[in-house]
Amino acid sequence: MAKSNFRITFFYSDTGGGHRSAVNAIDAAVKELIARDSRGYSFDLSSDTIVEKSHPINKKFVELYNYLLGHKQEWMKYYFWFIQTFKPNDSELGYLIVKRYLSKLFAESEPDVIVSVHPMTNQYVARVLQDLGMADRVKLLTVVTDPNGNFWRGWACPDAALTVVPNSLSKQQLVEWGVPAEKIRIVGMPVNPQFLKPPLTSRKEFMESLGLDAERTTIFLNSGWAGGGNMLDMYHQLSKTKKDIQIIFLCGRNEELYNKVKNAAAQSPVPTAVMPYYDRMADIMSHVDLMVTKAGGLTTFEAISKKLPLVFDTITKPMPQELGTVQLLVKENLAYKVEKPEDILDIVENFTPIADRQHYKLPTRYSLDRTEAVYDIARMILGFCDPGFSPVFDPASGSIREPVRAEYGKHAMLDISQGQTT
């Protein structure tokens, strides 16, 4: 008798780019594991941006979020307050406006495993599964992508079969919000497998393709998916440096910012490559020496997987979940922070690139060294289909072993506060 086909569906929303990145990362890891050994099964993997598709009101919430992220970052705190206070993701009215869409979607797709990678999807998905009598058959797995305890309350879904979190800080907060501890697994952040593999090009090839010098210290100003933050102000400050540097400026999906940076770069004495978007972020992070960014969870941990020193833009006060990431990584000496534009000049003037990042260890606290956690997450998902897939997690018994930590040999600890190492 032929084995059954399994259907795995990922749910997320395009609020920023991090949630889509997380889905792509887990999807890639699942496909890689299946390619190695499918155990004779066939799989259908799909994804859906259910927040914006479920109702025009929810689509407006997503559009507002992205507008504020790109153009009015200082107002994001009010958006966060509204969501946390009124909980539109876990209200009776909110449920009524999404129930029809989700019920039709589940009836048509008949998923075996649902992987939720967004705080605005969990409660509604769990409730619709219960109302349709599918909760026992369809497993809901929530993957938290905020790497600290200061995050959206929507991540807390007691009805999910399992919630995967980056570290003990996340677990503690979810337990306080009512998620049973036995339904939470500390694994790490879902970094895309491409960040765990060698780059496709050499540093020399990469820099020359952008018209830059492979021998110069390279600063990467990353405005993120939405092209927000205070990167242009910091770029103007870096134009004053006497240090022999060059800059890669990524503008995201913000055409206005791109045009402003192009004009500024034409007048700057610092060699600069200006890009609107780049689909091989792993290559950029492999070859630059220092990245300036906002503290988005996925981008931050992609950089950590590359052992790339970070500078966080805190000129505009970050949202609570991002502020917690800043505090955590500055404390662990993996990042600096900029509180006013001129701070970046002092950081860069005193910065020494790490000659061989590959051979440095990462701190073990808060699971920061679990750079390959995405494979453990993928095994958990496949384990809901057949426990034989997962040496890490057995859904039947609930047992889990410690995920394998990356081994970097007997090398020094990466610590930017001490120059290069401790």
Which is higher by pLDDT, 325 or 87?
325
Q: Residue for token digits 């890891």?
A: 29
Which is higher by pLDDT, 394 or 239?
239
Check whether 406 has a pLDDT greater than 60.
no
Domain boundaries, the chain: 5-191+372-390, 198-364+413-418
Kind of pairing, strands 399-400 and 393-394? antiparallel
CATH superfamily of 5-191+372-390: Glycogen Phosphorylase B; (3.40.50.2000)
Q: Which residues contact 369 (CB under 8 A, 6 or more apart)?
A: 361, 362, 363, 405, 406
Check whether 356 has a pLDDT greater than 80.
yes
Q: What is the pLDDT of residues 199-222, one digit of tens each?
A: 989 999 999 999 999 999 999 999
Q: What is the pLDDT of residues 273-293, one digit of tens each?
A: 999 878 889 999 999 999 999
Check whether 196 has a pLDDT greater than 80.
yes
Same CATH topology for 5-191+372-390 and 198-364+413-418?
Answer: yes
Phi, psi of 413 (to 5 degrees): -80, 135
pLDDT at position 327: 92
Q: What is the pLDDT of residues 90-114, one digit of tens each?
A: 888 888 889 999 999 999 999 999 9
- Where is average pLDDT lowest: 180-184, 231-235, 333-337, 416-420? 416-420
Check whether 403 has a pLDDT greater than 50.
no
d(CA 269, CA 58): 46
pLDDT at position 322: 85
CATH superfamily of 198-364+413-418: Glycogen Phosphorylase B; (3.40.50.2000)
pLDDT at position 314: 94
Whole-angstrom CA distances from 146 to 40, 65, 392 are 35, 17, 22
Check whether 420 has a pLDDT greater than 60.
no
CA dihedral defined by 384, 386, 391, 396, rounded to 10 degrees? 60
Task: Read off the pLDDT band of 368 (50, 70, 90).
Answer: very high
pLDDT at position 421: 43
Q: What is the pLDDT of residues 9-40, one digit of tens each?
A: 999 998 877 889 999 999 999 999 999 999 99
- Is pTM beyond 0.85 here? yes
Q: What is the pLDDT of residues 115-147, one digit of tens each?
A: 999 988 899 999 999 999 999 999 999 999 998
pLDDT at position 422: 44
Task: Read off the pLDDT band of 415 (50, 70, 90).
Answer: low
pLDDT at position 84: 78
What's the gap between Cα 295 and its chain centre? 10
Check whether 408 has a pLDDT greater than 70.
no
Task: Read off the pLDDT band of 392 (50, 70, 90).
Answer: low
Q: What is the pLDDT of residues 293-322, one digit of tens each?
A: 988 878 999 999 999 999 999 998 888 778
Q: What is the pLDDT of residues 54-85, one digit of tens each?
A: 999 989 988 888 888 777 878 888 888 888 78
Token duo for residue 256 = 């206005």
Q: What is the pLDDT of residues 219-276, one digit of tens each?
A: 999 998 778 789 999 999 999 999 999 999 999 888 999 999 999 999 999 999 999 8
Check whether 410 has a pLDDT greater than 50.
no
pLDDT at position 359: 83
Kind of pairing, strands 290-293 and 272-275? unpaired
Residue 326 CA neighbour count, 13 Å, CB half: 21
Residue 344 CA neighbour count, 13 Å, CB half: 28
d(CA 88, CA 61): 10
pLDDT at position 405: 40
Mean pLDDT value of segment 343-364: 91
Q: How many Cβ atoms sit within 10 Å of the Cβ of residue 299?
A: 22
pLDDT more than 90, % of the chain: 67
Residue 113 CA neighbour count, 13 Å, CB half: 25
pLDDT at position 391: 60
Check whether 5 has a pLDDT greater than 70.
yes
Amino acid at 214: A
Q: Helices 56-71 and 76-86, interaxial angle, to 10°?
A: 150
Residue 334: left (phi > 0), alpha (psi -120 to 50), or beta?
alpha
Q: What angle do CA 142, 146, 147 make, to 5 degrees?
A: 115
Mean of per-residue pLDDT scores for the chain: 88
CB 275 within 8 A of CB 250: yes
SS3 per-residue string spanning the chain: CCCCEEEEEEECCCCCCHHHHHHHHHHHHHHHHHHHCCCCCEEEEEEECHHHHHCHHHHHHHHHHHHHHHHCHHHHHHHHHHHHHHCHHHCHHHHHHHHHHHHHHHHHHCCCEEEECCCCCHHHHHHHHHHCCCCCCCEEEEECCCCCCCCCHHHCCCCCCEEEECCHHHHHHHHHCCCCHHHEEECCCCCCHHHHCCCCCCHHHHHHHCCCCCCCEEEEEECCCCCCCCHHHHHHHHCCCCCCEEEEEECCCCHHHHHHHHHHHHHCCCCEEEECCCCCHHHHHHHCCEEEECCCHHHHHHHHHCCCCEEEECCCCCCHHHHHHHHHHHHCCCEEEECCCCHHHHHHHCCCCCCCHHHCECCCHHHCCCCCHHHHHHHHHHHHHCHHHCCCEECCCCEECCCCCCCCCCCCEECHHHCCEC
**With 0-12 CB in 10 A as exposed, 13-18 as middle and 19+ as buried, what is 278?**
middle
